[in-house]
């Protein structure tokens, strides 16, 4: 409501201006001045500050010094003098409005100020209407947008960058939860809003906003003490103070009195503190700094330069030692030069400085209101354009505005208040973030905002410690943490009540208690059972109780799943988990035919076929020349089988065959030796490693089958199978205990059970005849649940990692879960037996042997055909005289060839020699 009151609506603004104009006219006797458009001897610039404040005192001195420096150069504004008209607003908003209107009466080309953002919001409407630029280096509210207030120019970096720097400091030190303490005015409030936005983008938050009255209203520390007492009872110990010097000084005085400046606290003050300390008496600074030891604060960064050093050297003479120079004095000085350069550019362009009455106000007729007292700056828009296009080197460094009106290269010094005064620990710039290198040395390099490139020097924290505070404590209200644990009806090795007492024990509880002991601070807590103990509770409901505040945490066998991570923070998993399939199995190597298992059926068939093929090839090659391959058909078949199968045992048989046969036998012997050695290795593995068989091969079998599937009551497995695996709800059977698991699997109520791996391992250690089928088809783990952004979740995660690294976590696991009454049957099995030898692994060997057989047969065929043709060429003449038909001739030739093939080669040779001898005898007679 207050904000609405101080921001008049644009439609009503004319009436406000009219009323205030009438008051001015009455008070001043109606003397309004309107420039006649000629080059003025004096160029008026109004300034509105509260001279009884620190900022007002410094601004008054710096503005006068800048006025003198501008006018001391007769060539800068030849024929004209810049005149700064300072008005003391006395921290009164109404007087600020009145004086702004008076400046419009005296034809001011610009107004420096106002000092506060509250007045900036109000007076910017006046500036917009009368085209008079307002330049402020203290009203740095991020919400003062140039789109809404085009004639308002911030000549120092907006507080948006101040809050961004603060947020990056908080992230750098690893804090996630902060408290903001501020005055209820536009500047402080909107700054904290910007801080909240910046923190949210870094997964941090403002957990509490401590709102104080307006700086000008606070007379006693009563309201401050009330808020500090509230903060004392809160969890967060990181406090951001975004206020003004007067209020800020009172805050730290009361915080010290309440004991809030000791170890464990983190105080971050915005730029008001460095302004206060920079302007303090150098002799009293050590005493003041001692009372603020450990506080972090920021100061707008101004690079070292000759102009800055010269101005700082003049300051004591300018101020007569009344107040020290702070950064806002530098920006006040540069603001005058920004306006002076814009005036110079306007006059050098040939334009005159002229004012005229506002035509809009002239149309508002009414009584004795003299609206002519309000002058519109005719060249105001052109003058504003020269201001925002300023590019100069001032005492604050490079002065330039970006297209969005923000200052170029915003940067801050990060200061640690120590016993002797102020110690700079680093810098922040919008270009490269946190650094120990001055920003001006980094602006020429590519921006690097990576976490590894963020650095600050060591800090002395409140209480004198050098270790970074964790930034939070348990609330100082004496309440123990209420930790919910599931009251399980089964698998009580994980969580259980001991013999009906209030004592809770189990694997998960032991892990939690061991992790708590590793923390550097005590965590008082109590376990509260959730559920009736007759059946396992619903774990989603258990976790939801953390979000509603019923429990401060949940400890137990809580699976970390996506749905739950959206509402709570989990610790690092203390045990790996995932859904698996359990089914009844039989032992394959208990059968009398286990020796057949090393080869697959195709492998057996092809191997046997090649034994026959090789024997047949050898018979063909040896039939005509080897007596062992002749005789009755039965004898020859037995010879073929015996020779081929005995080859792998009697390699000397290769010496009884021809050269071609020997080559074939050697290749076949090579193949047989490789296959035999592989068979032996596989059979050994099969007989020594348990091999299990089941129609259920894994989760894919469950999805494709129509059998019923069991699951544990309360487990997320039910929803997972329905939502993710699309298994019908009608197929699912809830089961409550390991005994129910075994009974349902044995009597066929369910074909398999889907549950988390730790439960299944415990089940298989007690009940035999079952095994895990396939692989885990989800990957997760069990963790402890805490409220979102709870620092305890982070510390507990670190503790769990410590338990794992020291081996303590494994010892707890062995104590509760490493037991077994069965032989190892819970090894997961794939669809294919990895020990079986498959045909695809040996097809190259069989191909090699087949090619050798084919080549040997081809060579032998050409040889036998050649010999047959020679024999047929010497047949008797009486047979040649008879000329049979072609069909009879082909048939007789085939019969003759087969008879020749079956005939022993020695007999054929003797008969051929006898025929040649007879032919020679006939020719000689």
| Tens-place pLDDT, residues 363-380 | 554 444 455 567 789 999
Strands 525-530, 586-587: pairing kind: unpaired
CA dihedral 585, 591, 594, 599 (to 10 degrees): -60
- Between the alpha carbon of residue 352 and those of residues 146, 383, 547, the distances in Å are 26, 11, 68
Euclidean distance between CA atoms 148 and 839, whole angstroms: 81
More reliable by pLDDT, 829 or 580: 580
* Residue 111 phi, psi (nearest 5): -125, 130
907-924 pLDDT per residue, tens? 666 666 666 666 666 556
Query: In the prediction, which pLDDT does 73 show?
Result: 92
Query: In the prediction, which pLDDT does 873 show?
Result: 58
pLDDT exceeds 80 at position 12? no
- Average the pLDDT over 280-296 and give the result: 87
Write out the two tokens for 411: 């940067």
pLDDT exceeds 50 at position 299? yes
Euclidean distance between CA atoms 752 and 579, whole angstroms: 13
Element (H, E) at 159: helix 159-172
Instruction: Check: CB of residue 301 under 8 Å from CB of residue 412.
Output: yes
Q: CATH number of 481-577+782-818: 3.10.580.10, 3.40.50.1580, 3.40.50.20, 3.40.190.10? A: 3.40.190.10
pLDDT exceeds 50 at position 491? yes
pLDDT exceeds 80 at position 166? yes
Q: Which of 397, 428, 409, 387 is nearest to 136 (CA)?
A: 387
Find the angle CA(634)-CA(656)-CA(635) to the nearest 5 degrees.
5
Place of tokens 């599937």: 709
More reliable by pLDDT, 856 or 796: 796
The mean-pLDDT minimum among 59-73, 344-358, 678-692, 846-860 falls in 678-692
Euclidean distance between CA atoms 204 and 198, whole angstroms: 9
607-658 pLDDT per residue, tens? 778 777 877 777 777 766 666 666 677 666 766 666 666 554 444 444 566 7
Query: In the prediction, which pLDDT does 286 show?
Result: 83
pLDDT exceeds 80 at position 231? yes
pLDDT exceeds 50 at position 221? yes
* Residue 797 phi, psi (nearest 5): -60, -45
More reliable by pLDDT, 550 or 26: 550
Tell me the percentage of the chain whose pLDDT exceeds 90.
46
Query: In the prediction, which pLDDT does 25 show?
Result: 38
Tell me the percentage of the chain whose pLDDT exceeds 70.
77
pLDDT exceeds 50 at position 236? yes
Place of tokens 């730790």: 758
The mean-pLDDT minimum among 6-20, 141-155, 182-196 falls in 6-20
CB-based contacts of 233: which residues, under 8 Å, 6+ apart?
475, 476, 477
Query: DSSP assignment of 136-147, as one string?
Result: ESS---TT--TT
Query: In the prediction, which pLDDT does 779 show?
Result: 85
Domains 42-155+331-400 and 481-577+782-818 share a fold: no
Q: What is the mean pLDDT of the chain?
A: 82
750-793 pLDDT per residue, tens? 999 999 999 999 998 888 888 888 888 888 899 999 998 788 89
CB-based contacts of 91: which residues, under 8 Å, 6+ apart?
50, 52, 53, 216
| C-alpha torsion sign, points 345, 351, 357, 360 | negative
Q: Which of 300, 309, 303 is nearest to 328 (CA)?
A: 300
Alpha-helical runs (H) found in 427-532: 507-517
The mean-pLDDT minimum among 67-81, 121-135, 626-640 falls in 626-640
Measured from the Cβ of residue 425, the count of other Cβ atoms closer than 10 Å reads 18
Query: DSSP assignment of 374-393, as one string?
Result: SEEETTHHHHHHHHHT-EEE
Query: In the prediction, which pLDDT does 912 show?
Result: 60
Question: What is the pLDDT confidence band of residue 685, given thresholds at 50, 70 and 90?
Answer: low
Q: 327-348 and 54-71 are packed helices; what angle lies between their axes, rounded to 10 degrees?
A: 40
Query: In the prediction, which pLDDT does 646 show?
Result: 59
Residue ranges per structural domain of the chain: 42-155+331-400, 159-318+407-453, 481-577+782-818, 583-588+692-779, 594-680
* Residue 657 phi, psi (nearest 5): -120, 170
CB-based contacts of 642: which residues, under 8 Å, 6+ apart?
none
Euclidean distance between CA atoms 72 and 75, whole angstroms: 9
Q: Which of 18, 13, 9 is nearest to 357 (CA)?
A: 18
129-155 pLDDT per residue, tens? 889 999 999 999 999 988 889 999 999
Question: What is the pLDDT confidence band of residue 273, given thresholds at 50, 70 and 90?
Answer: very high
Of 182-191, 337-346, 839-848, 876-885, where does the model show the most confidence? Answer: 337-346
Q: Which residues pair with 727 in a beta bridge?
A: none
Q: How many helices and strands (H and E) does the chain possess?
A: 31, 33
Query: In the prediction, which pLDDT does 674 show?
Result: 80
CB-based contacts of 246: which residues, under 8 Å, 6+ apart?
53, 215, 218
Of 368-382, 600-614, 713-727, 854-868, where does the model show the most confidence? Answer: 713-727
Place of tokens 């090789």: 614
Strands 266-269, 296-300: pairing kind: parallel
- Between the alpha carbon of residue 325 and those of residues 60, 135, 157, 273, the distances in Å are 12, 20, 18, 13
Strands 752-756, 709-712: pairing kind: parallel
Write out the two tokens for 55: 């900022």
More reliable by pLDDT, 368 or 404: 404
Instruction: Check: CB of residue 835 under 8 Å from CB of residue 691.
Output: yes
435-447 pLDDT per residue, tens? 999 999 999 899 9
Write out the two tokens for 150: 């085009």
- Average the pLDDT over 26-54 and give the result: 67
Euclidean distance between CA atoms 491 and 763, whole angstroms: 8
Euclidean distance between CA atoms 559 and 556, whole angstroms: 9
Euclidean distance between CA atoms 72 and 527, whole angstroms: 79
**655 burial type by CB count under 10 A (0-12 exposed, 13-18 middle, 19+ buried):** exposed
Query: In the prediction, which pLDDT does 208 show?
Result: 94
Query: In the prediction, which pLDDT does 363 show?
Result: 58
Euclidean distance between CA atoms 433 and 428, whole angstroms: 5
Euclidean distance between CA atoms 677 and 286, whole angstroms: 89
Query: In the prediction, which pLDDT does 61 show?
Result: 96
Query: In the prediction, which pLDDT does 585 show?
Result: 82
Write out the two tokens for 465: 């410690």
CB-based contacts of 407: which residues, under 8 Å, 6+ apart?
154, 155, 156, 157, 158, 399, 400, 401
Euclidean distance between CA atoms 257 and 742, whole angstroms: 68
pLDDT exceeds 80 at position 31? no
Question: What is the pLDDT confidence band of residue 543, given thresholds at 50, 70 and 90?
Answer: very high
**Greatest pairwise CA separation for the chain in angstroms:** 174
Instruction: Check: CB of residue 778 under 8 Å from CB of residue 698.
Output: no
Measured from the Cβ of residue 858, the count of other Cβ atoms closer than 10 Å reads 10
pLDDT exceeds 50 at position 401? yes
CB-based contacts of 635: which residues, under 8 Å, 6+ apart?
none
| CATH fold for the domain made of 159-318+407-453 | Rossmann fold (3.40.50)
CATH superfamily of 42-155+331-400: Response regulator (3.40.50.2300)
CA-derived radius of gyration, the chain: 49
**558 burial type by CB count under 10 A (0-12 exposed, 13-18 middle, 19+ buried):** buried
Q: Which of 636, 625, 632 is nearest to 907 (CA)?
A: 625
CATH superfamily of 583-588+692-779: Periplasmic binding protein-like II (3.40.190.10)
Query: In the prediction, which pLDDT does 29 show?
Result: 36
Euclidean distance between CA atoms 305 and 524, whole angstroms: 56
- Average the pLDDT over 404-431 and give the result: 93
Euclidean distance between CA atoms 654 and 618, whole angstroms: 10
């Amino acid at each position: 409501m207050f904000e609405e009151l101080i921001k008049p609506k644009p439609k009503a603004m004319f009436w406000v201006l009219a009323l205030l104009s009438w008051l001015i006219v009455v008070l001043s006797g109606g003397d309004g001045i309107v420039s006649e458009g000629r080059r003025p001897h004096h160029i008026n610039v109004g300034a509105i500050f509260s001279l009884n404040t620190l900022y007002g005192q410094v601004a008054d001195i710096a503005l006068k010094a800048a006025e003198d420096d501008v006018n001391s150069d007769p060539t800068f504004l030849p024929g004209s003098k810049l005149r700064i008209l300072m008005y003391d607003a006395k921290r009164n908003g109404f007087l600020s409005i009145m004086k702004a209107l008076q400046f419009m009466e005296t034809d001011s080309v610009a107004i420096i100020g106002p000092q506060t953002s509250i007045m900036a919001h109000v007076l910017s409407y006046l500036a917009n209407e009368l085209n008079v630029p307002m330049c402020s280096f203290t009203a740095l509210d991020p919400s003062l947008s140039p789109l809404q207030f085009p004639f308002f120019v911030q000549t120092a970096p907006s507080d948006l960058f101040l809050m961004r720097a603060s947020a990056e400091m908080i992230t750098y030190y690893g804090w996630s939860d902060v408290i903001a303490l501020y005055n209820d005015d536009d500047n402080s409030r909107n700054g904290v809003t910007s801080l909240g936005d910046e923190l949210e983008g870094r997964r941090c938050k403002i957990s509490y906003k401590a709102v104080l009255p307006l700086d000008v209203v606070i007379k006693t520390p009563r309201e401050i003490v009330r808020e500090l007492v509230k903060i004392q009872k809160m969890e967060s110990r990181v406090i951001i103070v975004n206020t003004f010097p007067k209020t800020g000084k009172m805050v730290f005085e009361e915080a010290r009195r309440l004991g809030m400046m000791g170890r464990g606290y983190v105080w971050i003050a915005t730029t008001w503190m460095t302004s206060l300390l920079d302007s303090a008496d150098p002799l009293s600074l050590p005493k003041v700094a001692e009372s603020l030891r450990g506080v972090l604060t920021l100061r707008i960064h101004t690079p070292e330069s000759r102009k800055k050093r010269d101005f700082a050297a003049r300051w004591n003479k300018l101020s007569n030692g009344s107040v020290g120079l702070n950064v806002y004095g530098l920006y006040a000085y540069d603001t005058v030069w920004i306006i002076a350069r814009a005036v110079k550019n306007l006059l050098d362009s040939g334009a005159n400085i002229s004012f005229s009455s506002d035509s809009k106000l002239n149309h508002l007729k009414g009584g004795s209101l003299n609206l002519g007292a309000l002058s519109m700056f005719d060249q105001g828009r052109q003058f504003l354009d020269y201001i925002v296009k300023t590019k100069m080197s001032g005492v604050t460094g490079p002065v330039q505005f970006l297209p969005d009106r923000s200052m170029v290269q915003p940067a801050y010094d990060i200061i640690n208040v120590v016993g002797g005064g102020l110690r700079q620990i680093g810098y922040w710039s919008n270009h490269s973030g946190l650094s120990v290198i001055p920003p001006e040395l980094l602006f020429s390099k590519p921006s690097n905002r990576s976490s590894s490139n963020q650095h600050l020097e060591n800090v002395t924290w409140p209480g004198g410690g050098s270790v970074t505070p964790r930034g939070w404590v348990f609330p100082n209200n004496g309440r123990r943490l209420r930790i919910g644990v599931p009251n399980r009806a089964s698998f009580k090795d994980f969580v259980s009540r001991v013999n009906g007492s209030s004592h809770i024990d189990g694997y998960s509880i032991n892990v939690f208690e061991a992790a708590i002991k590793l923390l550097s601070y005590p965590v008082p807590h109590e376990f509260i059972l959730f559920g009736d103990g007759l059946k396992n509770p619903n774990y989603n409901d258990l976790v939801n109780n953390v979000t509603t505040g019923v429990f401060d945490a949940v400890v137990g066998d809580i699976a970390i799943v996506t749905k739950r991570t959206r509402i709570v923070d989990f610790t690092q998993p203390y045990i790996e988990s995932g859904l698996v399939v359990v089914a009844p199995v039989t032992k394959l190597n208990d059968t009398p035919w286990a020796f057949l298992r090393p080869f697959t059926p195709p492998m057996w068939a092809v191997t046997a076929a090649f034994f026959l093929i090789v024997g047949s090839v050898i018979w063909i090659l040896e039939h005509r020349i080897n007596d062992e391959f002749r005789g009755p058909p039965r004898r020859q078949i037995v010879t073929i089988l015996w020779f081929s199968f005995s080859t792998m045992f009697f390699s000397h048989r290769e010496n009884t065959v021809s050269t071609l046969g020997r080559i074939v036998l050697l290749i076949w012997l090579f193949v047989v030796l490789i296959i035999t050695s592989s068979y032996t290795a596989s059979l050994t593995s099969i007989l020594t490693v348990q091999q299990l068989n089941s129609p259920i091969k894994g989760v894919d079998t469950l999805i494709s089958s129509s059998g019923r599937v069991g699951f544990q009551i309360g487990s997320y497995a039910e929803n997972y199978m329905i939502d993710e695996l699309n298994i019908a709800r009608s197929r699912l059977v809830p089961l409550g205990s390991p005994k129910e698991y075994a009974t349902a699997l044995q009597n066929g109520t369910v074909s398999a059970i889907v549950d988390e791996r730790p439960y299944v391992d415990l089940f298989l250690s007690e009940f035999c005849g079952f095994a895990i089928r396939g692989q885990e088809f989800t990957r997760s783990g069990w963790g402890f649940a805490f409220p979102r952004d709870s620092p305890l979740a982070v510390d507990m995660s670190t503790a769990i990692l410590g338990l794992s690294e020291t081996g303590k976590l494994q010892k707890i696991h062995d104590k509760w879960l490493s037991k077994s009454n069965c032989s190892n049957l819970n090894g997961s099995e794939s669809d294919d037996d990895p020990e079986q030898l498959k045909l695809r692994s040996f097809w190259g060997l069989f191909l090699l042997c087949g090619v050798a057989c084919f080549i040997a047969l081809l060579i032998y065929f050409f040889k036998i055909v050649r010999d047959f043709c020679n024999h047929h060429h010497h047949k008797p003449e009486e047979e040649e005289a008879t000329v049979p038909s072609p069909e009879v001739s082909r048939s007789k030739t085939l019969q003759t060839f087969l008879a020749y093939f079956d005939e022993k080669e020695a007999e054929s040779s003797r008969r051929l020699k006898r025929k040649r001898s007879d032919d020679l005898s006939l020719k000689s007679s």
